[in-house]
Chains A and B, each alone.
Chain A
Amino acid sequence: DTAVSQTPKYLVTQMGNDKSIKCEQNLGHDTMYWYKQDSKKFLKIMFSYNNKELIINETVPNRFSPKSPDKAHLNLHINSLELGDSAVYFCASSQGDRTFADTQYFGPGTRLTVL
C-alpha cells in the first residue's frame, strides 16, 4: 500500500484557473505538509497542518489554501493560477510529535504546469 499518495500526478491548466491537488496518507500520522519544488529542484515548505495548528510559510500567496476534510487528507487549493505556480508539489506526513523520531514521509509529487 502506498503510504502517502497524491492525485493527479500531472496537472496542466490555463492561467487564471482554480485547481486542487489531493493528498492522502495511510500511516496514521497527525501532521501533514505541502512543499513546492521549483525548476531548480529547490524544496520549500508551504504549510504544515494538524488538527490543532496550521502553520503557513509567510511567503506563500493567499491564493494557496490547504483544506483537511479529515486527519488522513490534506488537499491543496490554488486560485487564479499564475505562470510562476508551475512546479512540482509534494505532500508529506509525519507523527508531528517534534521529537527526534519524527520523520516526514513524502508522496510522489504532482507536476503542475500553468500555460
Chain B
Amino acid sequence: AQSVTQLGSHVSVSEGALVLLRCNYSSSVPPYLFWYVQYPNQGLQLLLKYTSAATLVKGINGFEAEFKKSETSFHLTKPSAHMSDAAEYFCAVRPRSGAGSYQLTFGKGTKLSVIP
C-alpha cells in the first residue's frame, strides 16, 4: 500500500522568507503526487500535481515542487512567504494503476504559520 509522510506538523516562517514543506512517499513505482491547500474552514484546493512530464512543477500562488525519485520526495517551496499563505498543506499520492488508482492517500498535513 502506498503511503505519504509529511515531516513537520507545524512550520513557522517569517513573511518574505522561504517556505519549504516536506513530503516523502513510499511505493516501488512513483505515484502521481499532489499538493493541496486548506484555508481555515474551507475545502481543499489543488496547488499543483506531478504527472511525470517534468520534475519541477509550478503551481498556483507562486508555489512549486520538485520530484526527486532518488529521494522519493516531492517537497513544496515558495521563495517568499506571504501572510495569505497561512493554511494547512496536504501532500497526497495516487497510484498509477491497479486497485485504488482512483483514490488519493493524504499525508497528515503541515500547518504553515507566517509571522509578520
Chain A residues lying within 8 Å of B32, measured Cβ to Cβ, are 100
CA distance A106 to B38 in the complex (A): 10
Which residues of B approach A to under 8 Å, CB–CB? 32, 34, 36, 38, 41-46, 49, 51-53, 88, 90, 94, 96-97, 99-106, 108-109, 111
A47-88: CB near B (< 8 Å → 1, else 0) gives 010000001000000000000000000000000000000000
Task: Kindly list chain A residues whose C-beta atoms are within 8 Å of the C-beta of B90.
Answer: 43
Residue from the set A41, A92, A94 with the largest chain B CB neighbour count within 10 Å: A41
Indicate if the CB atoms of A106 and B102 lie closer than 8 Å: no
Chain A interface, number of residues (Cβ within 8 angstroms): 26
B102→A43 contact, CB < 8 A: no
When the two chains form their complex, are residues B46 and A33 in contact, meaning their CB atoms are under 8 A apart?
no
Indicate if the CB atoms of A109 and B46 lie closer than 8 Å.
Answer: no
A74-115 interface mask toward B, CB cutoff 8 Å, 1 = contact, 0 = none? 000000000000000010101010101111111111000000
Q: Which residues of B lie under 8 Å from residue A96 when comparing CB positions?
A: 102
Which of B42, B51, B101 has a CB less than 8 Å from the CB of A98?
B101
Q: In the docked arrangement, what's the CA distance between A4 and B43, Å?
A: 10
Q: A33-B103, A48-B103, A100-B52 are in contact. Are A40 and B108 (CB under 8 A)?
A: yes
